Amino acid sequence: MRKVTAKSILSSENNMNIYRGCTHGCIYCDSRSECYGMTDTFEDIEVKVNAVALLDRTLSKRRKRAVIKTGSMTDPYIPLEKELRHMKQCLEVIERHGFGASVITKSDLVLRDIDLLQKINRKAKCVVQMTLTTFDEDLCKKLEPKVATTRRRFEVLKELQKAGIPTVVWITPILPFINDSTENIEGILSYCIDAKVRGLLTFGIGMTLRQGNREYFYSKLDELFPGLKREYIRTFGLSYIVRSPNSERLDRHARRLCEENGIIFGTKEVFDFVSELGPENSQLCLWA
Ligand code: SF4
């Protein structure tokens, strides 16, 4: 663990990352890319020690409510959070100031804070977004080895739904020649329908590879799927966007299943749903 003092905590889009680096071990992780400057230290978590105080100060100066979003670069519910509880304290700050929250995670540790998430949702809005990539549990353990499996994440989605907290599922990344099958998409969609998720994102069904995450991913392919690296190099070269030959068909299939089941589909549509506070919730109430 490396401690740093941050100068600011929210981006102009109200995104927040209280940790840098991640220990969930997903073999395809884009956050390992060199452009983020953490290639050698990715599992040595950087902790912004003043994150909670900084968030408190920042929100106290705001005149307009918004949804504070976290988890785009680092899962806020990494194992270290169990002991540090910075995410929990940030949610307490968000709740106290009457702001909304959106949390992206793969971890069942999010259930620890379910009461807080409910309170935020009652006051403003709270959405939990979970990534599901792989219906097959054994394959999931290979691709995402140190975090709750897809089955467990589905149980978490159901718990959240029972608690009245809206959820969104990200089906991304989908890895060519590994989990780019109709059975996989249908299996994940069956979980989404059962757990009554509100929105679904696919980003076109594919993955990204660039300097840093490509080397790590290829080393894992050699370890887990011997011979597949050659197929990737032959098919995709140095492409950043990597899509399977099945991407368009799988994306259409996911869209159709969503439309049939009343699930919001598409990047813009889901992002709008996550970010929008109702007009009654957007102005700051001094008595809240
Ligand atoms: S949970 Fe997200 S940030 Fe963490 S290793 Fe997996 S893909 Fe990377």
Q: Does 220 contact ligand 1 (Cβ within 6 A)? A: no
Residue with CA nearest ligand 1 atom 3: 74
Q: How far apart are CA 151 and CA 12, in angstroms?
A: 35
Q: Does 22 contact ligand 1 (Cβ within 6 A)? A: yes
- The H or E element that residue 102 is part of is strand 100-105
Give the global pTM.
Answer: 0.94
What is the three-class DSSP state of 32? helix
146: amino acid identity, one letter: K
**What percentage of the chain reaches a pLDDT higher than 70?**
96
Q: Atom of ligand 1 at shortest distance to CA of 73?
A: 3
Question: pLDDT value at position 20?
Answer: 93
Mutual angle of helices 114-123 and 150-162, in 10-degree steps: 50
Q: How far apart are CA 234 and CA 86, in angstroms?
A: 44
CATH number of 2-278: 3.20.20.70
Mean pLDDT, rounded, for 148-154: 98
Query: Residue 129, Cβ neighbours under 10 Å: how many?
Result: 21
Find the 124 Cα to ligand 1 centroid distance in Å: 28
Residue with CA nearest ligand 1 atom 6: 26
**Ligand 1 site-directed mutation target among 15, 75, 217, most atoms within 8 Å of CB:** 75
Question: pLDDT value at position 63?
Answer: 87
Q: Does 106 contact ligand 1 (Cβ within 6 A)? A: yes
Q: Does 251 contact ligand 1 (Cβ within 6 A)? A: no
In whole angstroms, how far apart are CA 62 and each of 16, 37, 57, 216? Answer: 15, 31, 9, 41
Asked if 129 and 102 touch (Cβ cutoff 8 Å), the reply is yes
Cβ burial, residue 177 (10 Å; 0-12/13-18/19+): middle
Q: Does 148 contact ligand 1 (Cβ within 6 A)? A: no
- Residue 2, strand partner residues: 46
User: 282 pLDDT exceeds 80?
Assistant: no
Q: Does 178 contact ligand 1 (Cβ within 6 A)? A: no
Average pLDDT, the chain: 94
Q: Does 45 contact ligand 1 (Cβ within 6 A)? A: no
Q: Does 38 contact ligand 1 (Cβ within 6 A)? A: no
Among residues 3, 34, 15, 17, the alpha carbon closest in space to that of 216 is found at 34
Asked if 145 and 125 touch (Cβ cutoff 8 Å), the reply is no
Residue with CA nearest ligand 1 atom 8: 29
Count of alpha carbons within 13 Å of 273, Cβ hemisphere only?
Answer: 20
**Ligand 1 site-directed mutation target among 74, 87, 152, 210, most atoms within 8 Å of CB:** 74
User: 288 pLDDT exceeds 70?
Assistant: no
Residue with CA nearest ligand 1 atom 7: 29
**Each residue of 222-281: pLDDT tens digit?**
999 999 999 999 999 999 999 989 999 999 999 999 999 999 999 999 999 999 986 556
Mean pLDDT, rounded, for 68-97: 96
Q: Does 87 contact ligand 1 (Cβ within 6 A)? A: no
Q: Where are the domains of the chain?
A: 2-278
